[in-house]
Amino acid sequence: MRSMLTKSAARAFFVVGTGVCSLAFIGLTIDSFRQVPGLTNESELSPAVVRGKQLWEHHNCMGCHTLLGEGAYYAPELTKVFERRGEAFIRAMLKDPEGMYPGERKMQKVDLSDKDLDDFIAFFKWIGKMNLQGFPPRPSLNPIAVPTAAAGTPAVAGASNRPQVYNQLCIACHSLGGQGGQVGPPLDMVGSRYDAAYINKWLHDPAAVKAGAKMPKLPLTDEQINELTAFLSQLKTEVKP
């Protein structure tokens, strides 16, 4: 016959088991709180980041977007948006969503000052640097955003040498080698249609080159424009993905 626990033995087993599990739970909780400052880069929690979080809540961005796993799924997830898109894209998108994607986006235009934009960007940058231990998972797609060529090295028409700003900003609207958006025209062989001077002038201010141009004036630095000009002007043959 199988032996059964006595009432006193069962009680002792329950008490000891509950105590051990409780101690393990408390220990894990203490360890989690101990790791929070390092995992969240608490030392970089600047006033701009705090104001960016306040703006996020004030404008109810969570009503459409997801951040750190919380929010709605109507619009893109933004936990790693700074890494994916960079400052130039975020600034341009927040300033004028319709200008970035004419007739394509439903994001409401919010009246934000330059200071507000700086704070939003600081907030997204801080969020993106958190050690979330693999969250959110990266999509299993062919890599698009790749490091730019080394300083002083001429960019060539290969995917491995696409400038970082191209992968963060231009690819949202234009395609190259079959990768990218469809809002603007493909950029394959753009260097055979326009010379470097024209491309550089266009990147500075599209409307000044062509009245009524749908492409907005992007917040690019002179260095970024020169880098894009060098890259795009060399696209004289069909680019393979």
Residues 123 and 62 in one domain: yes
Q: How many domains does the chain have?
A: 2
* Residue 179 confidence (pLDDT): 83
DSSP-based three-state secondary structure for 55: helix
| The two three-digit tokens of residue 132, written as one number | 């979330």
pTM of the model: 0.67
> What is the structure's pLDDT at 241?
60
Q: Rounded CA gap, 222 and 203, in Å?
A: 10
The answer to the question of residue 152 being in a domain is no
Domain containing residue 66: CATH number: 1.10.760.10
What pLDDT sits at residue 145?
40
Q: At what angle do helices 222-232 and 196-204 cross, to 10 degrees?
A: 140
Amino acid at 140: S
Tokens standing for 156? Answer: 């060539």
- Residue 180: its pLDDT value, please? 83
For 17-35, give the DSSP string.
Answer: HHHHHHHHHHHHHHHHHHH
User: By the 8 A CB rule, do 77 and 66 touch?
Assistant: yes
Give the distance, in angstroms, between the CA of residue 34 and the centroid of all CA atoms in the same chain: 28
The predicted pLDDT at position 164 comes to 86
Q: What pLDDT sits at residue 219?
A: 83
> Domain range for residue 190?
159-232
Rounded Cα gap, residues 123 and 82, in angstroms: 9
**The pLDDT of residue 213:** 86
User: Does residue 37 lie within any of the structural domains?
Assistant: no
Report if residue 240 sits inside a domain. Answer: no
| The predicted structure's pLDDT at residue 173 | 85
Residue 115 pLDDT: 96
Residue 154 is predicted with a pLDDT of 39
Residues 123 and 50 in one domain: yes
Contacts with 31 (C-beta within 8 Å, 6 or more apart), sequence order: none
Contact 80, 93 (CB under 8 A): no
pLDDT, position 143: 44
What pLDDT is stored for residue 156 in this prediction? Answer: 41
CB 44 within 8 Å of CB 129: yes
Bridge partner list, 71: 66
* 153: in domain: no
**Within 10 Å of residue 145's Cβ, how many Cβ atoms?**
14
Contact 218, 174 (CB under 8 A): no
Residue 141 lies in a domain: no
Q: Is residue 193 part of a domain?
A: yes
Q: Which H or E run contains 115?
A: helix 114-128
Count other C-beta atoms under 10 Å from residue 24's C-beta: 10
Which residues face 175 on adjacent strands?
A: 180
Q: Sign of the C-alpha dihedral, residues 208, 209, 215, 219?
A: negative
170 in the same domain as 103: no
Residues of the chain with pLDDT under 50: 1, 140-158
* Dist. CA 190–CA 115, nearest whole Å: 36
Instruction: Tell me what pLDDT residue 149 has.
Output: 38
